[in-house]
Amino acid sequence: MRVLVSVDMEGIAGVVHGDDVLPGHGEYERNRALLTAETNAAVRGVHAFEPRAQVLVTEAHAHFRNLLPERLDRRAELLRGTPKPYGMMAGLDGGVDAALFIGYHGKAGTARSVLAHTVSGGVVSDVRCNGRSLGELGLNAALAAHAGVPPVLVSGDDTVAAEAAEVVPGMHAVVVKRALGARAAAMLHPEEACDRIEQAVPAALAGRDAVRAPRFDGPVRLEVRVHRPRMTELVLLIPGMELADGCTLRYEAADFPTAYDVIELIATLGAL
């Protein structure tokens, strides 16, 4: 068995503020350790289910350099640094049997959700694929489904768990904190959060055939809304990119992986 573990940061127990996940702040260094601990809990859960499993851990926050490599479970292989193919889902291919999402958060616009955003909180306010609004959870689940890989588990706050129930029926969710607002939460002790993740993974892997992730098998009409009109200027240099209104970009992608890459490109160019 081969399992991909995609690791974001806003959804880990202990995190409630932007400074908590931003390099250069003291809280960030402590939260790197908490993030690595939750990742290790997921790795242990995979090996409890299949002792000979191969686990790929891919960094999925900011510039993809957050985990503490020396503290990562030595049975896991780490995919680190940017840019890397498929970004948050680097390592995804036809040989992967399941994907786990650790430390995830709600999509942009989610009410009372800890640090909710989509791809880039400073650029993107909404992403729609064939008219359907998706956050990072939905986009990454759809990319996994396109590769034939079931996304079986997500950990984070209660709002991302509710999002998973709606967008990816059958996906297991581990709630490590209950959102009280955009920068406040009632949270589990970090060790308890790790225990719950570790215990949930085997059942999630066992039930992978029941997961129903969103699928986009043909061309995808992509619409990305950004916060300010000036963020569209460089993006419109992409051949085929159109401006639907002052802040909404539209692109006809040949398939979902292409749409996924274009979303990342829009976020990158929009921030310049």
- Whether the CB-CB separation of 68 and 33 falls below 8 Å is answered with yes
* Exposed/middle/buried for residue 131 (C-beta within 10 Å: 0-12, 13-18, 19+): exposed
Domains and CATH numbers, the chain: 2-117+135-210 (3.40.50.10780)
pLDDT digits (tens, 9 = 90+) for 102-117: 999 999 999 999 999 9
Give dist(CA 200, CA 198) in Å, integer: 6
Burial class (CB in 10 A: 0-12, 13-18, 19+), 3: buried
Assess contact for 222 and 250: CB atoms under 8 A.
yes
Catalytic residues, which ones?
117
pLDDT at 94 over 80: no
Percent of the chain predicted with pLDDT > 70: 100
pTM: 0.97
Question: Residues at the annotated binding site for Zn(2+)?
Answer: 8, 10, 61, 105, 136
Peptide bond into 83 cis (omega under 30): yes
